[in-house]
Amino acid sequence: MQTLDRRLFLTSAAFLMAGCDQVARGKPPGGPVPPLRSVSPIPVGCCLRTDQFADKALIRLLSRNFSQITPEWEMKMSYLIRPNGQLRFDAADRLIAFAHDRKMAVHGHALIWYKYDAPQFQRLAKDRTAFLAAYRAYITQVASRWKGRIRGWDVVNEPVENMGGSLRDCLWSRVLGEDGYIVEAFEAASRADPKALLFINEYSLEKIPAKRKTFLQLIERLLKKGAKIGGIGTQTHIRNDMPRGQISAAIRDLASFGLPLHISELDISFRLRGGLATNLDAQTETASELVEAFMALPEKQRYALSFWGARDKDSWLMQPPFNDFPGNQPLPFTNDGNPKPMTAAIAEILRQHR
């Protein structure tokens, strides 16, 4: 039996034996919803940008409910590298200070992403030695800036092609190799900030089993090559009509390496046409399955549960071209800052695992 298959089997067996308190799915406990960070045994995170600092209601909601932040934009290469090649750290420095002042952890996002490169690298594409030196220098400069103040990094974001048929074809892979750019990125990040947990982060791992298989095979290969992967991020941009059991199966598979798992960018979109109550119930059931499966993992594998926004209006899904479903409510709080039924259910599951 292949190593990966054997690992998946063993994890599934352990998971089924561990059992877990089942909060009645879709049935929030009723009564006032406690702040998530006050009942959670694990960090509960949310993404944030500095332009949101002026939104006092949001900042109050964030400070009350979350114990970790992920910079939504201002630690990415597309923000950091200016046209003249200089790096601008102003905004990220403010996010680090914001978190520190509120005793929040920071999850860095994202050092290398297929989606964005920069002219400074494009110009070196034909000179592998110079390109690799610049690549290492960039990662070192960014990751060492907040050395000791970043709990974990998304070192490589979304290395697998959208539907999982192959790995991403990008500037990084073309010059350094499909696996090479990832191994190099983790090596440089590990030297720059040895204490940070280093993650590889991906989306649609729940929705597309073929993508999950490609991703798991990539992780297996990278680990054999000595890549310093310290954790797996599953973005979890999911919908409320996912077949029951599909999320739990994904969590089991992703946990099979024994590495910490980060639910890194959670939002649960409406996709049913049955009206608000139907959508909220299905959203609560989906969220309950996810958090129960996550909390059933061994403690060392429960890195954090992070949402990709706090209130529906803060979501990337409410911006064009993604806002295709009128009335979608993907996030844990309403625009007025009230908790959703799913948030009540999540709080209860977290509380039960304290």
Could you list the residues that contact ligand G3I (CB under 6 A)? 49, 51, 72-73, 76, 78, 157, 203, 235, 265, 316
The total number of residues shown for the chain amounts to: 354
Residue type, 189: A
Cα–Cα distance for residue pair 150/2, rounded to 1 Å: 36
CB of 115 to ligand G3I, least distance (A): 7
Question: Which of 74, 184, 206, 265 is flagged as catalytic?
Answer: 265
Torsion sign (Cα): 77, 78, 82, 84: positive
CB of 307 to ligand G3I, least distance (A): 12
Which residue has the CB atom at the shortest distance from ligand G3I? 316
CA neighbor of 262 nearest in space, from 153, 136, 113, 178 = 153
Cα–Cα distance for residue pair 61/64, rounded to 1 Å: 5
Cα–Cα distance for residue pair 216/115, rounded to 1 Å: 21
CB of 316 to ligand G3I, least distance (A): 4
CB of 51 to ligand G3I, least distance (A): 6
Residue 283, phi then psi, degrees to nearest 5: -65, -40
Annotated active-site residue 184? The verdict is no
Question: Which of 158, 202, 206, 292 is flagged as catalytic?
Answer: 158
Cα–Cα distance for residue pair 75/316, rounded to 1 Å: 17
Residue number, 168 or 353, with CB nearest to ligand G3I: 168
Residue number, 157 or 286, with CB nearest to ligand G3I: 157
Residue number, 51 or 336, with CB nearest to ligand G3I: 51
Residue 42, phi then psi, degrees to nearest 5: -125, 160
Annotated active-site residue 158? The verdict is yes
Residue number, 240 or 306, with CB nearest to ligand G3I: 306
Residues annotated as part of the active site: 158, 265
